[in-house]
Structure 1
Amino acid sequence: MKTTRFIKNNIKLIKIQKLIIVSLLIGFLAAFLGIALKKLTEHYEQIFFTQASLNPIFIFIFPVFGLTVIYFIRQYVFNKKVNKGINEVFESTGSRTKNLPKSKIASHFINGLLTVIFGGSTGIEVSTVVATATIGSVAQQKHNFFKDHKTELISAGIAAGITALFSSPLAGLFFVYEVISKKVSRTFFLTNSIAVAVAFGLVYLVDEKPLFSVGITSWHYYAIPYIILLGIISGINAVYLTKCVLFFKNNLTQVKSHYYKIIIGSVILSCSLFFFPQLYGEGYHAIKEIFANPNQTRLTASLIVSLIGILILKPIVTSATLFSGGDGGVFAPSLFIGAFLGLFVALLLNVYFHADIIPLNFMVLGMAASLSASIHAPFTAIFLICGLTNDYTLFFPIAIVSFVSKFIAERIYPFSVYSYATANVK
Structure 2
Amino acid sequence: MMNKTAQIKKNHQLIKLRKLVIVSILIGFLSAFLGISLKKITEYYEEIFFHEVSVHPIFYIVFPVFGLSVIYFLRQYLFKKKENKGIKEVFESTASKSKNLPSYKIPSHFINGLLTVIFGGSTGIEVSTVVATATIGSVAHEKENVFRQYKTELICAGVAAGVTALFSSPIAGVLFAFEVISRKVTRAFIISNLIAVSIAFGLLTILKEEPLFAVSISTWHLKAIPYFILLGILAGMNSVYLTRCVLFFKSQFGKIGTHYYKIILGSAVLSLSLFFFPQLYGEGYHAIKGIFGNAHQTQLTITLAFTFIGILILKPIVTSITLASGGDGGVFAPSLFIGAFLGLLLASILNSFFHVNVIPVNFMIIGMAAVLSASIHAPFTAIFLVCGLTNDYTLFLPIMVVCLISKYTAKMIYPYTVYSYSPSLIK
TM class, shorter-length = over 0.9
State percent identity of aligned pairs.
69
Which residue of structure 1 lines up, in the alignment, with residue 52 of structure 2?
51
CA contact (8 A) 2:217 2:361 kept: yes
CA contact (8 A) 1:242 1:374 kept: yes
Deviation at 1:120, TM superposition (A): 0.2
* Runs (5+) with no aligned partner, structure 2: none
CA contact (8 A) 1:120 1:281 kept: yes
Deviation at 1:81, TM superposition (A): 1.5
Which residue of structure 2 lines up, in the alignment, with residue 331 of structure 1?
332
Letter in 2 for 1:171: A
Structure-to-structure mapping, 1:223-234, within 5 angstroms: 223-234=224-235
Q: Tell me the distance in 2 between the aligned counterparts of 1:337 and 1:422.
A: 26
Letter in 1 for 2:161: A
Letter in 2 for 1:200: F
Which residue of structure 2 lines up, in the alignment, with residue 197 of structure 1?
198
Deviation at 1:421, TM superposition (A): 5.0
Which residue of structure 1 lines up, in the alignment, with residue 175 of structure 2?
174
Deviation at 1:61, TM superposition (A): 0.5
SS at match of 1:101: coil
CA contact (8 A) 2:299 2:352 kept: no
Is 1:387 paired with 2:383? no
Is 1:115 paired with 2:106? no
CA contact (8 A) 1:74 1:81 kept: yes
Deviation at 1:253, TM superposition (A): 2.3
Which residue of structure 1 lines up, in the alignment, with residue 270 of structure 2?
269
1:242-300 Cα distance to aligned partner (Å, 9 max, x none): 00000011233221111000011101100000000000000000000000020111000
Structure-to-structure mapping, 1:131-210, within 5 angstroms: 131-210=132-211
TM-score for both structures, normalised by structure 1:
0.98
SS at match of 2:421: helix
CA contact (8 A) 1:87 1:422 kept: no
Deviation at 1:145, TM superposition (A): 1.4
Q: Tell me the distance in 2 between the aligned counterparts of 1:185 and 1:117.
A: 39
Q: Tell me the distance in 1 between the aligned counterparts of 2:24 and 2:72.
A: 34
Which residue of structure 2 lines up, in the alignment, with residue 319 of structure 1?
320
Structure-to-structure mapping, 1:82-97, within 5 angstroms: 82-97=83-98
Which residue of structure 2 lines up, in the alignment, with residue 22 of structure 1?
23
CA contact (8 A) 1:234 1:370 kept: yes
SS at match of 1:13: helix
Q: Tell me the distance in 1 between the aligned counterparts of 2:424 and 2:208.
A: 40
SS at match of 1:262: helix
Q: Tell me the distance in 2 between the aligned counterparts of 1:370 and 1:202.
A: 29
SS at match of 2:254: coil
CA contact (8 A) 1:279 1:310 kept: yes
Deviation at 1:410, TM superposition (A): 0.4
Q: Tell me the distance in 1 between the aligned counterparts of 2:139 and 2:250.
A: 29
Letter in 2 for 1:161: G
SS at match of 1:391: coil
Runs of 4+ in 1 over 6 A off after TM superposition: none
The 3 A distance-change label for structure 1 pair 94 and 18 is same
Deviation at 1:10, TM superposition (A): 1.0
Deviation at 1:423, TM superposition (A): 7.6
SS at match of 1:417: coil
Letter in 2 for 1:70: I
SS at match of 2:123: coil
Q: Tell me the distance in 2 between the aligned counterparts of 1:349 and 1:187.
A: 49
1:41-83 Cα distance to aligned partner (Å, 9 max, x none): 0000000000000000000110000000000011111121211
Which residue of structure 2 lines up, in the alignment, with residue 420 of structure 1?
421
Letter in 1 for 2:268: V
CA contact (8 A) 2:36 2:166 kept: yes
Q: Tell me the distance in 2 between the aligned counterparts of 1:260 and 1:341.
A: 33
Which residue of structure 2 lines up, in the alignment, with residue 343 of structure 1?
344
Structure-to-structure mapping, 1:65-76, within 5 angstroms: 65-76=66-77
Is 1:244 paired with 2:245? yes
SS at match of 1:36: helix
Q: Tell me the distance in 2 between the aligned counterparts of 1:168 and 1:248.
A: 32
CA contact (8 A) 1:294 1:360 kept: yes
* Runs (5+) with no aligned partner, structure 1: none
Is 1:33 paired with 2:22? no
Q: Tell me the distance in 2 between the aligned counterparts of 1:88 and 1:140.
A: 16
SS at match of 1:141: helix
Q: Tell me the distance in 1 between the aligned counterparts of 2:88 and 2:293.
A: 37
CA contact (8 A) 2:269 2:318 kept: yes
Letter in 1 for 2:192: T
Deviation at 1:404, TM superposition (A): 0.5
SS at match of 2:145: coil
SS at match of 2:121: coil
Q: Tell me the distance in 2 between the aligned counterparts of 1:380 and 1:241.
A: 19
1:170-212 Cα distance to aligned partner (Å, 9 max, x none): 1001101111001111111111111111111101110100000
CA contact (8 A) 1:141 1:147 kept: yes
Q: Tell me the distance in 2 between the aligned counterparts of 1:397 and 1:27.
A: 32
Across the aligned residues of Structure 1 and Structure 2, the Cα RMSD in angstroms comes to 1.0
Deviation at 1:383, TM superposition (A): 0.1
